[in-house]
Amino acid sequence: MASPCPFCSTDRDLLADSPLAVAFEDNHPVSPGHALIVPRRHVETYYGCSADEKSAIWSLVERVSSMIAMLHRPAGFNVGFNAGIAAGQTVLHAHVHVIPRYVGDVADPRGGVRHAVVGRGYSEPKS
């Protein structure tokens, strides 16, 4: 029997919500304030979301980013999603990560999400 979806649980403290999406703290945060935005409807990846769900997700990204900025004072953010197992998605319910970033949290943050493919993330500026 398959495990129940951890993002479909209604037993969560929410940071924010709307009729189509919810936001909550990540259970395994990579930095203080790390949050997830998920559609209420169970759908595997972001690309399976309806246009209205996508709009609701990005509206909550804005709200939650503002909340995190006020509470945690990060120096920046990484915002994004993994779509599919090959892209690193481990919970097969669409979700967007809002990851606050802090000066010194990694030795060299250049490249940001481009480091999803290890060793290929750095690029030199064109002169």
Residues annotated as part of the active site: 95
H-assigned helices in 1-127: 51-72
> Taking a C-beta distance cutoff of 8 angstroms, is the pair 101, 82 a contact?
no
Question: CA-CA distance, 123 to 66, in Å (whole number)?
Answer: 30
Write phi, then psi, for 35 (nearest 5 degrees). Answer: -130, 160
